[in-house]
Structure formats: structure tokens, C-alpha cells
A = this chain, B = another copy of it.
Amino acid sequence: MTKELEGDDDAGDRGLLSDRIRNALTDEITQGLLEAGAALDEQQLADRFGASRTPVREALRQLAVSGLVEVRGRRGVVVARMTPERIMEMFETVAEIEAMCVRLATYRMTPIERSHLIEMHDLSEAIVEKGDYDAYDAFNLEFHDRIYHATHNGFLAEQAIAVRSRLNAFRRTQLRQGERMRRSRDEHDAIMQAIAEGDGEMASRRMRAHMLNAATALRRFIEASKPT
């Protein structure tokens, strides 16, 4: 009913309507607000955003390229349905890409980049102590981002971020599982040691294990919460 994009978000006002709609839908999907398989009616979305169908259509088509939604011929658009198998495939892919990035980063990062990373990692100890999930989630994102960029390969960093973003909907939940946050930080610590020693291969293996541990924690959570 109300035009959601009108005045409440200061940054959302300017820019192209289709871009704003695309960003809004991207957020809603990756945050899990829109359930997988949910139908995305063009007219309905147009009304919701106070726009016509044209920019909505463009946004939906772009999301389809990103893999966030699924266009089914002339039968409408739905939020991408992901089977558990596919989700695990995505996690494995992210794990491999992260492992690749940390190996390159170990060999290429500047001393300044290294010291910034160490500093961030040191500060994360306090976050774990406080048990602040949201703060740790934000730290975690930036920690990995810095590793991507430390590869000094902008294209690779873009790809890494793009792939990771498709798992956003699942990212936050896994941290709340038991001692996962503490263990995550410990795993970061092991990775940092390998980086400090300049052993990219070791850092890579530890990063892969780190990511797969996170995936396993998530899988346990999903299986526990859906005992169908």
C-alpha cells in the first residue's frame, strides 16, 4: 500500500528506481525475509514500491542472472528454490574460493594489510567475550573481505563477494549455535598464525576447514529445527 521507498531511507531516495527495487529485493531475499519458492508478482511488487511494472521487471530479470530468483517462462518469478544438496554445494564452493583467496593473500598482502588484519583479529576477542553475535557477524564479514582484497586481484574479490552474498540468508544463524562463535574465532586464530608464518598452503587448508565447519554447524541447525 504505502510507497516503501519514499522517505524513510535517506540513502534510498536518489538513484534509479529499478536499482533501488533490485537492491531492496536482494536484501529481502538474502536476509531470508522472502521465503524460497515464494511467488513474486510483478503488479503486486509495483504497488508495494509505488512504481510501475517496468522497473520491477528489470529488477527481477537482473536478480535471475544473479541466481536469487527463478523465472519460469510465462508463469511468473519465484524466489530461488535451493535444495539442501545445492546449498551444500554452494558452501563448498565458497569454502574453496576462500581457501584460494587466503593462499594468494598470504603471499601478496602488504605489511600494512597484515597489521590491519592482525589488529582486527585481536579486537574480535572482546566481541566473543561479550557474546555479541551481530558484532561478530559484522567483524567476520570484514575479516574475510580484507582477505579477498589482500589478494590484490579485484576481479577475484568481486567474484568471492558475489558468491558469498548468495549464502547470506544462512550466515547469521550458524553463529548462534553453541560454541560456534568461540570456535570460529579460534579457527581465525589458526589461519592468522599460518599467514604470519607466510605459509599460504597451510592458511588455505585451515580456511577450507573453517568454512566447512561453519557449513556443518548450519546443517546441524537446519536438521535440528526441521525434524520433519
Residues of A within 8 A of B (CB): 16, 18, 54, 57-58, 61-62, 64-66, 73, 86, 89-90, 92-93, 96-97, 100, 104, 153-156, 159, 163
Contacts and interface: CB of A to CB of B under 8 A. Distances in A.
Main secondary structure of the interface of A (DSSP, over half): helix
28 contacts: A16-B73, A18-B61, A57-B58, A58-B58, A58-B61, A61-B61, A61-B62, A62-B62, A65-B65, A65-B66, A86-B154, A86-B155, A89-B153, A89-B154, A89-B156, A92-B153, A92-B156, A93-B153, A93-B155, A93-B156, A93-B159, A96-B100, A96-B104, A96-B156, A97-B100, A100-B100, A159-B159, A159-B163
A116 to B, nearest CB: 22
A86 B154 CA distance: 8
A170 B54 CA distance: 36
